[in-house]
């Protein structure tokens, strides 16, 4: 594929427009499948090897990162992770475009962060037609078990996403949000300093 064609497809992807598997095939070398497989099969005690693999897999990875195996990623190379990150088992990154995770973020088991969706009409899903929009998770966010974060979402500083939620729109900073679709139920205030929940 000519470089001009690749640039045109990259521009369409960046605008959140539909593109196909065949059109995006030139992006395949950015996938880190072998490295992800190796990470998921590296003993937990081999922290040096695990750290080395994380720096090979992700676009950037901060200090004191804990990522429990197994995890999964479409690419891995489109994920940016800040300092003091904790990701529990079965975290899935559908990172066809960027996922940016800030500092001090905690993610519970079986969470999916998906930058990619598919058109509703079946004719537009031919050749795995899809669209992609970046996800941003700001500093100090906590995401509960079995949450799904959909394309284009930003979760604001300090917010908590309740277990089982489907996050289809932005969540403002310092909010507790739950449900399907996920909605803000209350702000986080200083009163929460004296509370367990």
Name the catalytic one among 41, 72, 80, 118.
Answer: 118
Q: Active site includes 121?
A: no
Phi-psi region of 140 (alpha: psi -120 to 50; beta: other; left: phi over 0): left
- Alpha carbon 94 to its chain's center: 6
Closest residue by Cα to residue 17 from 153, 118, 154, 135: 118
SS3 26: helix
Ranges of H-type helices in the chain = 3-14, 33-40, 47-57
Give the residue numbers marked as catalytic: 118
């Amino acid at each position: 594929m000519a470089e001009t064609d690749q640039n045109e497809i990259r521009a369409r992807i960046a605008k959140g427009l539909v593109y196909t598997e065949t059109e995006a095939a030139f992006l395949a070398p950015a996938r880190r499948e072998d490295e992800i497989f190796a990470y998921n099969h590296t003993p937990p005690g081999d922290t040096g090897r695990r750290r080395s693999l994380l720096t090979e897999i992700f676009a950037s990875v901060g200090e004191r990162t804990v990522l429990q195996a197994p995890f999964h990623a479409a690419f891995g190379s489109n994920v940016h992770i800040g300092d003091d990150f904790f990701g529990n088992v079965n975290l899935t990154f559908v990172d066809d475009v960027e996922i940016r995770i800030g500092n001090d973020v905690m993610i519970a088991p079986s969470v999916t962060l998906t930058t990619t969706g598919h058109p509703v009409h079946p004719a537009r899903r031919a050749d795995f037609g899809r669209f992609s929009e970046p996800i941003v998770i700001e500093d100090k966010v906590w995401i509960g078990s079995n949450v799904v974060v959909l394309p284009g979402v930003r979760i604001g500083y300090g917010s908590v996403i309740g277990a089982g939620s489907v996050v289809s729109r932005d969540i403002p900073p310092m909010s507790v949000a739950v449900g399907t679709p996920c909605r803000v139920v209350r702000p986080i205030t200083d009163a929460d300093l004296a509370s367990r929940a």
